[in-house]
Chains A and B, each alone.
Chain A
């Protein structure tokens, strides 16, 4: 069970958290202006890197906040967390 440093609550056990996918995928401000291919990219295409991965987590069973974490997908180590 990972120990994840919530930016508000400090280090907490992984079972209090909810994984939220890759970070930095912003919803287009005007979706109707986006063509089908770009919208499909927004919906489904993720970088899925080997190594450092910026991702969203939510302290679901804690303060409830979403925040960003950098996790290495090879070692499963979280190198840092930050308020969004």
Chain B
């Protein structure tokens, strides 16, 4: 296949590897090393897109990421569709399929181009002016029409099948931009022996060196010097091509996106498509270069009009001539280099039109080469349909026929990241652009982005920024050494002189905005949308600024720049989400009996991140059938329920009772050992935060339960008070949520069944709301006589590893009916027991729930003072009541409003439109054979006996207000025990044998020695260090907290340590954790996929341990050897942690020397 515009020689393309690709359905050929843009140009294709508003034909403007026009959609099949990709960045591979955007029906013939006919309608502010009225037209007519006509590529409808990963990393020096300045900076920084990373958005490292084919550096051709430099860097520096530094975040954290597979036809399935790096860099060197500015003249947007520097790259780097007959319009010396290189390549240069009265000396070089150079000459018109055909020159100098026009309005240093780092910018009048000024972070700038131009100067500034004490000079020849000029004086506003190509903003639009009084650059930007497209105005901002300055008679620094914000170029949602999608979006926590529930057909519901069994349908049963059967089983026989997800906190210490007494509304100080009490926890504002059961295990030890969702926040709140308010109290907290599995056995048979598993222990002496430590089915247990159902019942807490064995034994001993959370909800609602978060919504106080008398005689507890604030005493507060519908079959909707009945005064009816409350819970009660509801209603208790209205979608329902206890108001059921007729063979409990003892130790410094002696391992005082002694270890977790890990072969360890812990806390958490060992050379790299710590051996040495965050869960991380990490994770989080690590282990590393593929 022919590539008519491919030059005979030159370029970094592999001419031996022809590549076929498709654009808009047509097949073309290019070479390996091409971008889609260079390959299209090689085939003479300039028309690549239609503009955003006016659907004007547009061509390729640039050769890099600043491209505003050549946006295409690449479809790799199977839902792998990426819209709005810049053709200048898409690397060619065999079979690449790209299509143009924003055209209908085709790129060549576009109906939307008609928009050009009523162009004035779409000028600045058209959104605000044209469509103000009527509002409904906006939603139905204008917006859909505008969205259809104006726009970018279409978002794919299918799920993205590609994988994306995240990686945290740390380095001393991150160099952004691998042009000459960046390469020199990396060389200098690497020579100091620190961790250096070098990234560049392009496929090849080298930046302008890839275009400066004639340059000679220190006696070597530029390409050879570059290759040698990269070879020297490869073994010492993490080299990241195809990696865009898109954002600067606080404390030198830089976001990078590395594109790993988009350039490959058939990617390695183990490679993620993109990797988002979060790099914490001690210092950042910005070597981000500069972007050439277009010239602004009427119809400056026709295909064939291109930036001069881009054209030079197409000729030198890709061996492509942008056209046959090329004119050049410039206000800057750099365009002459393009002219000279094209001339050498055999392209006809029709003329060089220099806007300046006095072009630089390089103009003479062009003249000597035989080119026509006109000074003080502007382009005033262009013609041509889908391709430029001629230009009109100012001051009557006629028309020049040409198929290509190159332009240069000077260069704008890329200060985006410097500005994002909050560094101050300073205006440099000589180049007419802003440069880095006072930095606000550890950042150094080098090369063109710092206003340094010329190859030798760039290399030297880069080397100096790399911070070595030996400055280096570079001898350079064969490269242009011109300083850029300021932007030319703007011409009169014209409705087709484009400033912002991507958003179709013209100088006329800017003048409308200033005429209408907009002065602030931020306002003009928003009113005209200049600089607001996906290219963020990379090629347009300075031209817009110069135009506004001229229009308003101000200087450019007076007008100022708009703020730079991330991302530098668009970032895919996939990269931002990383692995946090699908199964890894959130941890999915399974309770210890989850597998049994799954095997027995449970239907699960999400409660926080837990999966809980909602009900256990039998064949043919509906949900109501199953829930009704489960409820009746509890009321009439016995039910068994997995309550393990309830939060549990062990509160230990001489002042534990005093502490809980201050925290909870209820009187805990007087609670005898062996008894339990309901506990209501308020915030200091008096509103109910949580509730649970507080059991006194020993004088100085309490087992406190919280709601499932409140476990973490209650622990946090208690720590807050202990550390910062009640620090006079000696009490310590340990989460035991995951250590204990809790099995509820509820119903009249419960005692009879349980006694069979306790060697005939007589439980009749165990009163309601009591606790004892005992053995159930041979397993050490905490047995609670408590009831959330209203029936006589027990909750049995056993170590999680033993849960299944005890559950099996209970089933064998009396066939209790498994029930789920739905039956639990119904049973408790029948008794009027609240659920925090269901009856309460963060604005309920105890009195609203009927608990007004609790704690009244206590002098203080958290939240008590707030209960006498005026609003808390109002008599119209919403109070908990029951509602019984007149139609007993009607189940109300939770969340429905409650209103009063219409009332008559003479002939006037008042309808109670105001909501007086809402339905908090509503169920079908099989026990009562009717529906029940709990509601929070204003003046609720006074309204008992009244009828109220509940509007529902299909009818308004009448319901009677009743007391919120529907069943057994005298609590006789709590003491109703019956003998279970079933008496199966009881298997011996055979739980998993625990392999590790884990003890959470919380102790003041005075107690650590004695406890350490008992444990056989010292409790170290060095933060974040583990102490090992023989087969055991003590991990420092906090200044008063350690995790002791020992083999299970020492069963009395806990007792010995507890006895030694005078005034301190030792809590068995053996079953709360699982251990995951990560070993291998890549171990730290894998963990850093999810953990933001610096795991280099010198910052996280062997023996270091800490709690930290891994993905979305807490872990304890301990480095036991250079390449071995020991992770302790909550048992329900272990599958998530393992899955994350598996995901991390699938991707190859990009550490030193392993990057830079091809």
Contacts and interface: CB of A to CB of B under 8 A. Distances in A.
Contacts, number: 96
Interface of B: 249-253, 278, 280, 422, 440, 684-685, 716, 719-720, 723-725, 859-860, 864-866, 868-870, 1023-1024, 1037-1039, 1041, 1092-1093, 1106-1109, 1114
A6 B658 CA distance: 30
Contact of B865 (A2, A12, A32, A75): A32
B1109 A2 contact: no
B844 to A, nearest CB: 17
A46 to B, nearest CB: 14
B278 A1 contact: yes
A62 B869 contact: no
B1109 A31 contact: no
Given A3-B280, A27-B684, A32-B860, A62 B865 contact: no
A64 B1023 CA distance: 12
Given A8-B1023, A31-B864, A76-B250, A16 B1108 contact: yes
B280 to A, nearest CB: 7
Interface string A29-61: 011101010011001000000000000101011
Given A27-B684, A31-B864, A65 B250 contact: no
B720 A39 contact: no
Given A1-B250, A8-B1039, A84-B723, A39 B422 contact: no
A82 interface: no
B720 A66 contact: yes
Given A10-B1023, A31-B865, A84-B724, 17 more contacts: A1-B249, A1-B278, A3-B253, A16-B1108, A18-B716, A30-B860, A34-B865, A36-B868, A39-B869, A43-B866, A61-B1108, A62-B1106, A63-B1107, A66-B720, A66-B723, A75-B422, A84-B723
B419 to A, nearest CB: 14
The 4 closest A-B pairs by CB, nearest first: A31-B865, A63-B1038, A13-B1092, A3-B251
Contacts of B252: 3
A26 B870 CA distance: 23
Given A13-B1093, A15-B1109, A39-B865, A64 B1037 contact: yes
A64 B685 CA distance: 24
Contacts of B422: 75
A63 B1037 contact: yes
A64 B1106 contact: no
Nearest to A64: B1038
Nearest to B1036: A63
Contact of B719 (A43, A61, A64, A84): A64
A58 B720 contact: yes
A75 B253 CA distance: 15
A63 B1023 CA distance: 9
Nearest to B868: A36
Contacts of B280: 3, 13
A65 B1108 CA distance: 13
B724 A43 contact: no
Contacts of B685: 43
A7 B864 CA distance: 33
Contacts of A58: 716, 719-720
8 contacts: A1-B250, A3-B252, A9-B1024, A28-B865, A43-B685, A62-B1106, A65-B1038, A66-B723
A3 B442 CA distance: 14
Nearest to B1092: A13
Contacts of B1108: 12, 16, 61-62
A53 B1037 CA distance: 29
B843 to A, nearest CB: 14
A12 B1037 contact: no
A66 B1109 CA distance: 17
A16 B1109 contact: yes
Interface of A: 1-3, 8-10, 12-16, 18, 20, 26-28, 30-32, 34, 36, 39-40, 43, 56, 58, 60-66, 75-77, 84
B94 to A, nearest CB: 41
Question: Which secondary structure dominates where chain B touches chain A?
Answer: mixed
A9 to B, nearest CB: 6
A43 B1109 contact: no
A59 to B, nearest CB: 8
B715 to A, nearest CB: 10
A5 to B, nearest CB: 10
A38 B435 CA distance: 52
Give the one of B280, B725, B870, B1092 with max A CB within 10 A: B1092
Contacts of A39: 865-866, 869
B860 A31 contact: yes
A18 B422 CA distance: 25
B290 to A, nearest CB: 28
Contact of B1107 (A30, A56, A62): A62
Given A9-B1106, A15-B1109, A32-B859, A1 B251 contact: yes
Contacts of B278: 1
Contact of B1093 (A12, A64, A65, A66): A12
Q: Identify which of B440, B724, B1093, B1108 gathers the most chain A CB atoms within 10 Å of its CB.
A: B724
Contacts of B860: 30-32
Contacts of B250: 1-3, 14, 76-77
Contacts of B249: 1
User: Which of A14, A15, A62 has its CB near the most chain B CB atoms (within 10 A)?
Assistant: A62
A2 B253 CA distance: 8
A66 B684 CA distance: 18
B1041 A64 contact: yes
B906 to A, nearest CB: 43
A64 B735 CA distance: 13
**Which of A12, A13, A84 has the most chain B CB within a 10 Å cutoff?**
A13
A63 B865 contact: no
B684 A43 contact: yes
A57 to B, nearest CB: 12
B347 to A, nearest CB: 50
A66 B1092 CA distance: 21
Nearest to A75: B422
Contact of B1038 (A2, A8, A34): A8
A64 B1002 CA distance: 12
A51 to B, nearest CB: 15
Contact of B870 (A9, A31, A36, A76): A36
Contacts of B1041: 63-64
Contacts of A61: 1107-1109, 1114
A13 B1100 CA distance: 14
A34 B869 CA distance: 11
B1076 to A, nearest CB: 17
A84 B251 CA distance: 24
Contacts of A76: 250
Contact of A20 (B684, B720, B1039): B720
B1023 A2 contact: no
Contacts of B1106: 9, 62-63
Q: Most chain-B Cβ atoms within 10 A of its Cβ — which of A14, A31, A65?
A: A31
A30 B152 CA distance: 64
Contacts of B868: 36
A64 B1108 CA distance: 10
Contact of B724 (A18, A34, A66): A66
Contact of A27 (B725, B1037, B1092): B725
Nearest to B727: A84
Contacts of A1: 249-251, 253, 278, 1092
Query: For B252, B685, B1107, which residue has the most chain A Cβ atoms within 10 angstroms?
Result: B1107
A75 B252 CA distance: 14
Contact of A64 (B870, B1092, B1107): B1107
A2 B1109 CA distance: 15
Contacts of B1037: 63-64
A7 to B, nearest CB: 10
A35 B864 CA distance: 13
A34 to B, nearest CB: 7
A39 B869 CA distance: 9
B1092 A65 contact: no
